[in-house]
Amino acid sequence: MTYKAGVKDTLTAVVNKEVTGVTYDFVTNFSTYASSWNNQYAEHTITSTDLGTYSMAASFTLSNACKQTGTITDKPVCAVKTGTHYITVTEVTSGDFSSITSFSVKLAQWTTKVFTDIHLEYSLDGTTWVSCSDVITTPGDLSSNVDIKNAVAFRVSYTAASEKNVQLGLASITLGN
């Protein structure tokens, strides 16, 4: 570069903004974290290190979940007969989730029975929960429909009233900005 007297050069720096959102992929990483599971429904807690390397460490507690045998071996399956169960996402380090403004999940179903209620919730204190999505009765894609900034925990709430287990599979959870 040649400099001349009285001439100003402009240097432009490009800064890549850090991505604060991330998708936790349960399908791709299923064989890693579920290797110690049996096929009985129980509560399981896993950390994001089991789901790959991400910028946000999170802990996932799946109530009434199992590793299925037979054809359902590619994702964790949660089931409920009556009552409400949850898939809960919490911070590993305080403040990790402070900039998160959206929450979404991808769920699948293998039985013909429908749920009475599936919806998303968030918490600002880890104790009180607020609904942040529509209610669906058949597993599919669900996204938050309110601004959830400063939340410290998120969960999928699923309820059924049935004589047999009604199952849903967890494909992914996405926390975004």
pLDDT confidence of 9, banded at 50, 70, 90? very low
Check residues 10 and 29 and name the one with the higher pLDDT: 29
Give CA angle at 105 (76, 41), nearest 5°. Answer: 25
Residue 2 predicted with pLDDT over 50: no
User: Locate tokens 């949850």: which residue?
Assistant: 86
Exposed, middle or buried by CB within 10 Å (0-12, 13-18, 19+), for 113?
middle
Domain parsing of the chain, residue ranges: 22-176
> Which pLDDT tens digit goes with each residue over 45-88?
999 988 888 778 899 999 999 987 665 578 999 999 999 999 99
Token pair for 28: 């791709």
> Which pLDDT tens digit goes with each residue over 110-148?
777 889 999 999 999 999 999 999 999 999 999 999 989
- Residue 4 is predicted with a pLDDT of 52
Check residues 63 and 32 and name the one with the higher pLDDT: 63
Token pair for 97: 């989730």
Three-state DSSP string of 42-99: EEEEEEHHHHCCCCCCEEEEEEEEECCCCCCCCCCEEEEEEEEEEEEEEECCCCCCCC
- Residue 49 is predicted with a pLDDT of 86
Domain 22-176 in this protein, CATH class: mainly beta
The per-residue pLDDT of the chain, averaged, comes to 85
pLDDT confidence of 15, banded at 50, 70, 90? very low
- Residue 20 is predicted with a pLDDT of 54
Residue 3 predicted with pLDDT over 70: no
Contact call for residues 34 and 47 (beta carbons, < 8 A) = no
User: Locate tokens 């807690």: which residue?
Assistant: 45
pLDDT > 90: percent of the chain: 55
